[in-house]
């Protein structure tokens, strides 16, 4: 169990800087997820922590000891790779015991640790098989087992579920959360899948182009995104973004005018002045069909997921406003609908993309 401290971490490949100064604190036993679009540097950052990529500048501290110059094996970390990276010529048992064998751990103790890990991961029937005889999910578990036997201070996961099918991915998400609970270990997890980030993380780090955009709990990021990028990245289906104009500011919030002329009062304040062009963000679930709603539009597409239905509505000058409603709702394609807006769940972003602060914290985050 360990704490990690990243101070001004930078990485350049030649003249291109891919990590541009990362400051981050990771507490003991925390499950941290690095999330961001492809090429944002999240995997590179993880590899720098692992010691597989040299650090160009800045300092990495594990348990308050500088480890920039320490080799990957001696940092006390274990990594699970995207491709699993199992050794194909070794059995599952040999794969899991390889690190211990290199460390010259006696065979009896090695076997004990491998058996313990295989018990946790339910790999007992497969110990004498080779990786090629295992399914994707089993290989994934072997890769995790290889990390567990080393008893590392920190587990690193590099997009470990991206090669699995959807059903298995959901199952492995639960297993990983359970494992975190059981092992009580610090875990850093890299993914581009915001669902994985939302469901597993205690702390999400949103990265873009080598810089941290926002750090916070999943709900913090969901309900109080700091800027347009985070708002658009976290949440599925995506937040709807509308160009609006500020018409009044008062103590109960900021009044904005939509393209159709409809007006909404959003309980946010900030530097916005009357006349400013701002962006209004509405989550799909903050919109509902309502005969008295302020928005008017035509349903272009209906996606019925069973429990939920997604309407894609052309309204307020945009073609694809997503509305999330109950699956029991019978709205059809090409129907005209009026929509009401839950303004307490709306967000305003100024012209530089920064969020205007909400007047109140979300009830789940208030404490």
Partner 1 sequence: MSSATQETPGAIKAPGGFLVMPSVIVLLAWMIVPLVMTVWFSFQYYNLLAPETAGFAGLDNYEFLVTDPDFWVSLRNTLVLLSSVLVITVVLGTLLAVLFDQPFPGRNIARVLAISPFFIMPTVAALIWKNLMMHPIYGVFGAVAQAFGFEPVDWFAQFPLASVIAIVSWEWLPFALLILLTAVQSLDHEQREAARMDGAGVIAQFVFITLPHLSRAIGVVVMIETIFLLTVFAEIFVTTSGGPGNATTNLAFLIYARALLQFDIGGASAGGVVAIVLANIVAFFLVRSIARRLEV
CA angle, 259 as apex, 254 and 261 as ends, to 5°?
70
Instruction: Write out the two tokens for 123.
Output: 């790999």
| CB closer to partner 1, 104 vs 334 | 104
- CB neighbours of 83 closer than 8 A, spacing ≥ 6? 163
Nearest distance from residue 106's CB to partner 1, in Å?
A: 16
DSSP-assigned letter for residue 134: S
| CB closer to partner 1, 85 vs 120 | 85
Nearest distance from residue 203's CB to partner 1, in Å?
A: 23
Name the residues that contact partner 1, by CB under 8 A.
Answer: 50-52, 71-74, 77-79, 81-83, 85-89, 98-99, 102-103, 132, 146, 150
| CB closer to partner 1, 88 vs 275 | 88
The DSSP result for 270-286, as a single string, is SS--TT-EEEEEE-GGG
Nearest distance from residue 23's CB to partner 1, in Å?
A: 25
Nearest distance from residue 13's CB to partner 1, in Å?
A: 13
| CB closer to partner 1, 86 vs 176 | 86
Q: Is residue 158 within 8 Å of 7, Cβ to Cβ?
A: no
Nearest distance from residue 155's CB to partner 1, in Å?
A: 11
Backbone CA torsion sign across 27, 29, 30, 32: positive
| CB closer to partner 1, 107 vs 273 | 107
Nearest distance from residue 129's CB to partner 1, in Å?
A: 14
Nearest distance from residue 296's CB to partner 1, in Å?
A: 53
Q: In this structure, what are the phi and psi dihedrals at residue 123, rounded to the nearest 5 degrees?
A: -105, 5
Stated as kind and residue range, the H or E segment containing 348 is: strand 346-349
Q: Which residues pair with 79 in a beta bridge?
A: 156
- CB neighbours of 201 closer than 8 A, spacing ≥ 6? 31, 32, 33, 189, 217, 218
Rounded Cα–Cα distance for residues 77 and 34 (Å): 17
| CB closer to partner 1, 136 vs 237 | 136
Helices 136-149 & 107-121 angle (0-180, nearest 10): 130
| CB closer to partner 1, 83 vs 260 | 83
């Amino acid at each position: 169990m360990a704490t990690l401290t990243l101070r001004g971490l930078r990485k350049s490949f030649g003249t291109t800087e891919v990590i541009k100064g990362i400051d981050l604190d990771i507490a003991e036993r925390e499950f941290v997820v690095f999330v961001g679009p492809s090429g944002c540097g999240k995997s590179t950052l993880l590899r720098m922590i692992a010691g597989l990529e040299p650090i160009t500048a800045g300092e990495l501290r594990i348990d308050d000891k500088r480890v920039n110059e320490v080799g990957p094996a001696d940092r006390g970390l274990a990594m699970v790779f995207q491709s699993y990276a199992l050794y194909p010529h070794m059995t599952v048992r040999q794969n899991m015991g390889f690190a211990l064998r290199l460390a010259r751990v006696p065979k009896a103790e090695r076997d004990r640790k491998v058996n313990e890990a295989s018990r946790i991961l339910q790999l007992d029937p497969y110990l004498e098989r080779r990786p090629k005889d295992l399914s994707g999910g089993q290989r994934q578990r072997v890769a995790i087992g290889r990390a567990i036997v080393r008893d590392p201070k920190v587990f690193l996961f590099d997009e470990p579920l991206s090669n699995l099918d959807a059903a298995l991915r959901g199952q492995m998400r639960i297993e990983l959360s359970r494992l975190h609970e059981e092992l009580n270990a610090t875990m850093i997890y890299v993914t581009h899948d915001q669902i994985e980030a939302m469901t597993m993380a205690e702390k999400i780090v949103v990265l873009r182009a080598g810089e941290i955009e926002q750090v916070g709990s999943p709900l913090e990021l969901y309900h109080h995104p700091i800027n347009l990028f985070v708002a658009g990245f976290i949440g599925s289906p995506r937040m709807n973004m509308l160009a609006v104009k500020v018409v009044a500011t008062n103590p109960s919030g900021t009044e904005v005018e939509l393209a159709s002329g409809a007006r909404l009062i959003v309980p946010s304040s900030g530097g916005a002045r009357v006349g400013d062009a701002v962006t209004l963000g509405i989550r799909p679930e903050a919109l509902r069909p309502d005969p008295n709603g302020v928005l008017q539009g035509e349903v272009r597409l209906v996606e019925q997921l069973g429990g939920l239905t997604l309407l894609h509505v052309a309204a307020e000058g945009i073609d694809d406003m997503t509305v999330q409603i109950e699956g029991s709702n019978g709205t059809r394609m090409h129907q005209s609908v009026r929509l009401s807006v839950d303004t307490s769940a709306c967000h305003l972003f100024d012209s530089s993309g920064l969020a205007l602060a909400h007047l109140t914290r979300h009830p789940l985050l208030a404490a």
